[in-house]
Amino acid sequence: MNSKCQCVELNDGHFMPVLGFGTYAPEEVPKSMATDATKLAIDAGFRHIDSAYIYQNEEEVGLAIRSKIADGTVKREDIFYTSKLWSTFHRPELVQSCLERSLKKLQLDYVDLYLIHYPVSMKPGENSFPTDEHGKVIPDAVDLCATWEAMEKCKDAGLAKSIGVSNFNRRQLEMILNKPGLKYKPVCNQVECHLYLNQSKLLDFCKSKDIVLVAYSVLGSHREKKWVDQNSPVVLDDPVLGAMAKKYKQTPALISLRYQLQRGVVALVKSFSEKRIKENIQVFKFQLTSEDMKVLDGLNKNIRYLTLDSTAGHINYPFSDAY
Ligand SMILES: NC(=O)c1ccc[n+]([C@@H]2O[C@H](COP(=O)([O-])OP(=O)(O)OC[C@H]3O[C@@H](n4cnc5c(N)ncnc54)[C@H](OP(=O)(O)O)[C@@H]3O)[C@@H](O)[C@H]2O)c1
């Protein structure tokens, strides 16, 4: 199955494959693994690839994409590649330079989608996590509407086919949507979304505005100690999910992914294992009944895994896409 034929039309007329390959891996994972995994993902049929300036892997991911173009597996236009503007580049005059840095690493001419990564601005400079003497992030006072106008210019310059946001709540989305002189609406809002945080209100709001909700941490995240409370329940171990996986003769991961696709959410999934990459693309091969979708809706517990302030102290701001 090739995820390319399973696409959603964005509000600017471009198409986004509904299953995306996540490339973020914890710091200790060698960056070269992103190259191998991205190649495997393209070979398996993934056409949507998600990365970001801050993942520091765009050289490796770009290498994989270009090598799959060079060997004839795909053409550039078959790939939907997302990058994200980091928070130290929110000042309008810095926005395009962050995208250009990504493109240089990728050795690509454009990205398919460029997102404002977080609605939190940080002090500009080479330090991606500027902190004060108490370990608190040093914020920057930037009007995100001005950042958005600079994002619009990146689209007009052809450096990004589509533009959107990530980790925005309803109020922040409305701020952009109600901006006087808005030229382009965000095509999507990429947020944490899984069975324990199903974002149903934010999803309804996004749908009402023709904004696609893109889900990350659909399998409950990488559970990296630095970012995730190790005492939080593991979504893939949920007994109801486990029973449903047995019933459909699928894995809990596949049921979790399928759930998102059937409710109109684009799902990202990261794996650097060949076996699980091949498993995850099987999501198109079965369907959940509407009764089972309701059962899965009932598992929501409003548990957010990525709070960024679990043990850290050094990065001390909450994710803000809570409805
Ligand atoms: N916009 C944002 O702020 C933001 C934040 C977080 C993530 N993201 C994006 O979303 C992507 C996905 O999110 P995520 O990395 O947090 O987590 P995720 O996709 O929910 O989970 C990844 C974890 O699940 C494992 N896994 C993958 N397939 C599996 C399967 N079939 N069965 C069991 N385990 C499986 C992976 O391990 P193996 O690699 O060993 O298979 C990895 O530990 C990221 O890579 C990134 O591109 C965006």
Ligand 1, atom nearest to 220 Cα: 20
Q: Is the pLDDT of residue 173 over 90?
A: yes
Question: Which atom of ligand 1 lies at the shortest distance from residue 222's CA?
Answer: 43
Average pLDDT over residues 246-256: 98
The answer, yes or no, to whether any atom of ligand 1 lies below 6 A from the CB of 50, is yes
> Domain 3-308 falls in which CATH fold?
TIM Barrel (3.20.20)
CA dist 18 and 2 (Å) reads 11
Cα(160)–Cα(168) distance, integer angstroms: 20
Q: How confident is the model at residue 307 (pLDDT cuts 50, 70, 90)?
A: confident
Give the C-alpha distances (Å, rounded to integers) separating 259 from 56, 60, 264, 294.
Answer: 30, 31, 9, 10
Q: Confidence class of residue 181 from pLDDT cuts 50, 70 and 90?
A: very high
Give the whole-angstrom CA distance, residue 268 versus residue 113.
Answer: 14
Helices (H) and strands (E) in the chain, counts: 10, 10
Q: Is 101 in the pocket of ligand 1 (CB under 6 A)?
A: no
323 counts as catalytic: no
Q: Does 166 sit in the ligand 1 pocket, CB within 6 Å?
A: yes
pLDDT category at 82 given cuts 50, 70, 90 is very high
Among 23, 24, 28, residue to substitute to test ligand 1 (most atoms within 8 Å of Cβ)? 24
222 lines ligand 1 (CB under 6 A): yes
How far, in Å, CA of 266 to CA of 215, rounded?
6
The residue ranges of DSSP E strands in 132-187, in sequence order, are: 160-166
Give the pLDDT of residue 2: 41
Number of alpha carbons in the 13 Å side-chain half-sphere of residue 109: 4
- Over residues 43-57, mean pLDDT: 98
Tokens found for residue 86 = 């980091």
pLDDT for residue 189: 98
The finding on whether 216 has its CB within 6 A of some atom of ligand 1 is yes
The mean-pLDDT minimum among 143-147, 229-233, 251-255, 319-323 falls in 319-323
H-helix or E-strand spanning residue 28: none
117 is in an annotated binding site: yes
pTM assigned to the model: 0.96
Predicted confidence at residue 323, as pLDDT, reads 59
Residue 53 is classified by DSSP as G
pLDDT at 315 over 80: no
- Domain range summary for the chain, segments of one domain joined by +: 3-308
Q: By alpha-carbon position, which residue is closest to atom 36 of ligand 1?
A: 271
Mean residue pLDDT across the chain: 94
Euclidean distance between CA atoms 258 and 260, whole angstroms: 5
